[in-house]
Amino acid sequence: MTTKTALIVDDEVHIRRVLEVKLKNKGMQVMMAKNGQEALDLIQENRPDVVITDINMPIMDGKTLCILTNPLKKEKTFLTIVVTARIDPQDNIWIQELQDTILLEKPFSPMEILHIIQSYRGEPN
Amino acid sequence: MELTELQDFLTNLTPISHLHYQVWDLNGQMLYPDPDQHAEDPAFTQAIRGLSATVLKENRYHHDLFAGRHFMSGYPLTNGKGPFGALIAYKVASRPQAAEASDDPCIWRQTMEMEKFLGSLAKLLQDSWEAREEVNDLAEELDQSFEDLFLYGKIASQIKTLKFSSSMLEGLINSLLINLRADAAFAIFPDKPQYNTLVAQQHLNTRYRNHMEFYQKLIDSIPAEVLTAEDKYYIVNRSSSNPTYGPLSPTEYRFLTVRIEHEEGFYGWLGLVSFNMNEIFRQGELQLLVSLAEQLSVVIANTNLYHDLELFIINMVKSLVFAIEAKDVYTRGHSERVSRFSMQMGKKLGLTGKELDALRWASILHDIGKIGIPESILNKPGSLTDEEYEVIKDHPAKGFEILKPVEQLGYSLPGILHHHERFDGKGYPSRLAGEQIPLAARIIAVADTFDAISSTRSYRSAKSYYKALAIVKEVAGSQLDPEIVTVFTQIIDETGYLLEEVSYAN
């Protein structure tokens, strides 16, 4: 198996670090971004296999990021996991419109995220 | 060790400092640069390995010359436990000829400076590594807190459903097992073994007939003093050093269990077992387990309360029904039969849950108001005077009044109050018509009419079921809801009620 790349997008350092360590321990390569803009640049340049993103962030929020990167999935798809602490029923609606994009609520289980990534890639847990 | 960022730093430092850098570990392996891409003379590399070993052994700065002309120096990288690596700096002599050490003032005069420089660089690397490791440790701690928090949230939402059941318990224990990284999680209820639940990662003990037996033994072996002291929890950190617990399994394990109890009493044990002896049960896990057990006990207590209440209502209803039937000898079994027919119709009409419950209570209690009617009227042979008939007609309203204070039966009251309404609006007490009449009341009316005609009354003897059904069909649309009569007819057909009666009558 070739090493898979994940991009973690969150303005909160503790969230980034927890996911970073979790994914690195599973042998994944990890990139990190503090907002949607940084993430967009990294996605365009590196095409990660998984993007885990927050919604509420400065400069560019996660929703904009997801909508801007969705067309890239036509070429080669990747998984986007949107993790949010905000309560907004609308989030379910726009996320359903996007390809390979799922929503998780905070507090989330890092292990569950790992399982989701693994089952998306068709690996046993 | 996380080297990527530091490697870039050392690589960038090389052209400015005119020194090459290497990092060696305690096993004599080169960590930096990548040995595959390293093209130094093998003999030189061997000499550096030797220098690194000396540096690590003596835990201090060393320098030397290779082949009498290539300068090399090393400084230990240490953490709290001592050296874990050696930072090497070397310079490949540009002149092909061997040079006397003293010929290269640039190096020898600056030996002191070199030691200082390498020392500072080593410190920088150490701090950076340490910070990195600390962040990783913190992240791992935090990772567990995230899992705990997630589990709390999940449990809280499961607890909200309030009703205790095997599947609810299994869901709860499953999430417990996943989040606490144990090999098995279980709940054992000594008084209610049907609720014993076990979720295990794998089948580990072949010694026992079934998997549960091992866990049951763990609970059974809890020392008496723990039980009498009513300690909140019991822990076995290492089964091999416990004379009671060691022999229970050939594989070493650790075991933690907490009491599930409430003011009402003791219910059982919630426990975890792990065969991974490299880890321990943490305080946080105990707290989580304790709070889960507390939540669980609340659910169990509530469920018991709910069952008690339900049982109380059933018993109360039974005694009320008994009271009516004691008064009116002709109606013995009537309430029971009306209830049975009504429930059959209700189910066929697609009623569920609360609606069906309401129908059950309303149908069995529909005549409860007769308690307030004098026996002389109830059991009077022959026809009633207008006055007496008015008294009889009052029984649905009386029943309503009698049961009104019983809050739990509130939802069944409309079925009782209106079971003598007629579909054409000529009934009592409210002269409701058609769909205005509550569905439960329309259902009860059909069952009540059929049973009244087909059983003996004070004023006449029983008609056959055939005749009774014929009369019920006749009054469909005037007295009774025709749709419900159709459903009732279907039920009679399907259950073979009339056939039974024919053979019985002949």
**Model pLDDT for residues A82-110, shown as the tens digit of each residue:** 998 877 778 888 999 999 999 998 888 89
Question: Considering only CB atoms, which chain B residues are within 8 Å of A20?
Answer: 139
Q: Token match 């891409």: residue?
A: B37
Task: Give me the residue from B135, B146, B153 closest to A110, CB to CB.
Answer: B146
Specify the 3-state DSSP secondary structure of B188: strand
Binning pLDDT at 50, 70 and 90, where does residue B506 land?
Answer: very low
With a pLDDT cut of 70, the percent of chain B lying above it is 88
The vertex-B48 CA angle with B47 and B49, nearest 5°, equals: 90
Burial A65-74 (b: 16+ CB within 10 A, else e): bbebbbeeee
Contact B135 A17 (CB under 8 A): yes
Is A107 close to B143, i.e. CB distance below 8 A? Answer: no
Chains A, B: CB pairs < 8 Å:
35
pLDDT at residue B292 in the model: 84
C-alpha B89/C-alpha B21 separation (Å) is 5
* Residue B265: pLDDT band with limits 50, 70, 90: confident
CB contact under 8 A, A21 and B150: no
Please report the residues numbered 133 through 172 in chain B whose beta carbons come closer than 8 angstroms to any beta carbon of chain A.
Answer: 135-136, 138-140, 142-143, 146-147, 149-151, 153
Query: Chain B closest CA to A74's CA: distance in Å?
Result: 33
Kindly identify which residue of chain A lies nearest to residue B180, measuring between CA atoms. A111
How buried is residue B418: exposed, middle or buried, by Cβ count under 10 Å (0-12/13-18/19+)? buried
* Model ipTM value: 0.80
* Residue of B139, B153, B179 with shortest CB distance to A18: B139
Average pLDDT over residues B329-352: 87
Q: What is the pLDDT of residue A20?
A: 92
Strands of the sheet with B233-236, listed across from one edge: B197-200, B184-188, B265-274, B254-262, B233-236
Q: Which of A12, A20, A21 to mutate to test the interface with B (most CBs of B within 10 A)?
A: A21
Helices (H) and strands (E) in chain A, counts: 5, 5
**Residues of chain B neighbouring A107 (CB-CB closer than 8 A):** 146, 149-150, 153
Residue of B nearest to A18 (CA): B139
Q: What is residue A114's three-state secondary structure? A: helix
| Average pLDDT score over chain B | 83
At B162 the pLDDT is 57
Task: Evaluate whether residue A125 is within a structural domain.
Answer: no
Point out which residues pair with A83 in neighbouring strands.
A104
**Residue A26 maps to a domain:** yes
**Contact state of A18 with B143 under an 8 Å Cβ cutoff:** yes
Choose from A109, A114, A116, A125 for mutation: most chain B CBs within 10 A: A109
For domain B161-298, the CATH architecture is 2-Layer Sandwich (3.30)
**Matching fold, domains B4-134 and B328-505:** no
The domain limits of chain B are: 4-134, 161-298, 328-505
Of B135, B138, B150, the CB nearest to A109: B150
For residue B133, the chain A residues in CB contact (below 8 A) are none
Name residue B34's beta-bridge partners: none
As beta bridge partners, residue A104 has A83
Q: How far apart are CA B132 and CA B2, in angstroms?
A: 7
Contacts of B273 (CB under 8 A, 6+ apart): B182, B183, B184, B185, B186, B215, B218, B253, B254, B255
Least Cα distance to B403 among B364, B345, B442, B443 occurs for: B364
Q: Do B146 and A18 touch (CB under 8 A)?
A: yes
Mean pLDDT across B247-274: 89
Asked if A14's CB is within 8 angstroms of B142's CB, the reply is: yes
CATH code for the part of the protein at B4-134: 3.30.450.40
For testing the chain A interface, which of B137, B143, B145, B152 should be mutated: the one with the most A CBs within 10 Å?
B143
The count of other CB atoms within 10 Å of the CB of residue B398 is 20
Contacts of B140 in chain A (CB under 8 A): 21
Single-letter amino acid code for the residue at B54: T
Looking at the predicted structure, is the pLDDT value of residue A5 above 60?
yes
Shortest distance between the Cα of A37 and any Cα of chain B, in A, equals 23
Q: Which residue of chain B has the CA closest to A106? A: B150
Cβ–Cβ below 8 Å for A110 and B140: no
Angstroms from B475 CA to nearest CA on chain A: 53
What CATH class does B328-505 carry? mainly alpha
SS (H, E, C) B398-436: HHHHHHCCCHHHHHHHHHHHCCCCCCCCCCCCCCCCHHH
Phi then psi for B319, rounded to 5 degrees?
A: -70, -30
Per residue in B111-126, pLDDT (tens digit) is 778 888 899 999 988 8
Q: Is residue A78 situated within a structural domain?
A: yes
- A107:B179 CB<8 A: no
- Cα(A28)–Cα(B212) distance, integer angstroms: 38
pLDDT at residue B268 greater than cutoff 80? yes
**Which is more confident, B326 or B25?**
B25
Name the residue type at position B278.
N
- Tens digit of each residue's pLDDT (9 = 90 or more) over B38-64: 667 888 889 999 999 999 999 999 988
What is the rounded distance in angstroms from the CA atom of residue B84 to the CA atom of residue B376? 104
What is the residue range of A106's domain? 5-120
- Pick the most confident of B98-107, B143-152, B436-445: B436-445
Which CATH number do you get for residue A49? 3.40.50.2300
Number of folded domains that form chain A: 1
Alpha helices in B162-210 (DSSP H): 166-180
Radius of gyration of chain B, Cα coordinates, nearest whole angstrom: 43
